[in-house]
Amino acid sequence: MSCNCKGPKSDLTLLNNIFEEISCVPENLITVLQKAQEIYGYLPEDVIYHVADVLGAKPAEVMGVATFYSQFRLSPIGKYLIMSCQGTACHVNGSKRVSEAVADYLGIKHGETTADGLFTLENVACLGCCSLAPVIMINGEAYGNLTPESAVEVLKTIKEKENGEK
Ligand code: FES
């Protein structure tokens, strides 16, 4: 079934290597989606249709899997991916308040991207630097011992840098 998606067209040839490496059967759906997300950064609608087509599955089934697992994203991520740790050490040190302050400041909910495409906020499990709890990681860089205020300051600094570069 072809896709009548309204979104931007993806370069579907980028998927060819995946289909050469992995046998095209519905049982491999999750692996294929993981690799597709590595390529595109998320799972565009036309990619979902194409994967369904090649694996012999229904697009609704593929979409069902893509929406069920939190590891999959259905929209592009921002320039800065904020991973807000909600692991145990961070939780007992106030990660919920930090995360809420970040969400409020950006005007988005978890899993969403700001309208300017700058920030995506995701709640994640332990980031592996519990001694710094509570921690957020932005594009791989860890910021620890945060308060709601200091987390917002980090974002303000990034925004200022971005505005200065324009
Ligand atoms: S619990 Fe947050 S880094 Fe481990």
CATH no. for residue 124?
A: 3.40.30.10
Question: φ, ψ for residue 59 (rounded to 5)?
Answer: -55, -35
Exposure of 159 by Cβ count < 10 A (0-12 exposed, 13-18 middle, 19+ buried)?
middle
Together in a domain, 46 and 119: no
* Boundaries of domain holding 104: 80-165
Report yes or no on 3 lying in a domain: no
Compute, in angstroms, the gap from residue 162 CA to the centroid of ligand 1: 28
Q: Which residue out of 85, 96, 138, 146 has the highest number of ligand 1 atoms within 8 Å of its CB and is therefore the one to mutate?
A: 85
54 and 86 belong to one structural domain = no
Q: Strand pairing of 80-85 and 119-124?
A: parallel
Same domain for 88 and 138, yes or no, is: yes
pLDDT tens column, 57-88: 999 999 999 999 878 988 888 999 999 999 99
Q: Among 68, 91, 110, give the residue marking a domain's end.
A: 68
Q: Is the peptide bond before 148 cis (omega within 30 degrees of 0)?
A: no
> Which residues' Cβ are closer than 6 Å to ligand 1?
85, 87-90, 126-130, 133, 135
Residues 101 and 157 in one domain: yes
**CA 124 – ligand 1 centroid, Å:** 9
Among residues 22, 37, 68, the one where a domain terminates is 68
**Does residue 38 share a domain with residue 85?**
no
pLDDT tens digits, 4-62: 666 668 899 999 989 998 888 888 999 999 999 999 989 999 999 999 999 999 999 99
How many structural domains is the chain composed of? 2
pTM: 0.73
Write out the DSSP string of 68-79: HSTT--SS---S
Structural domain contains residue 74: no
pLDDT by residue (tens digit) across 116-127? 999 999 999 999
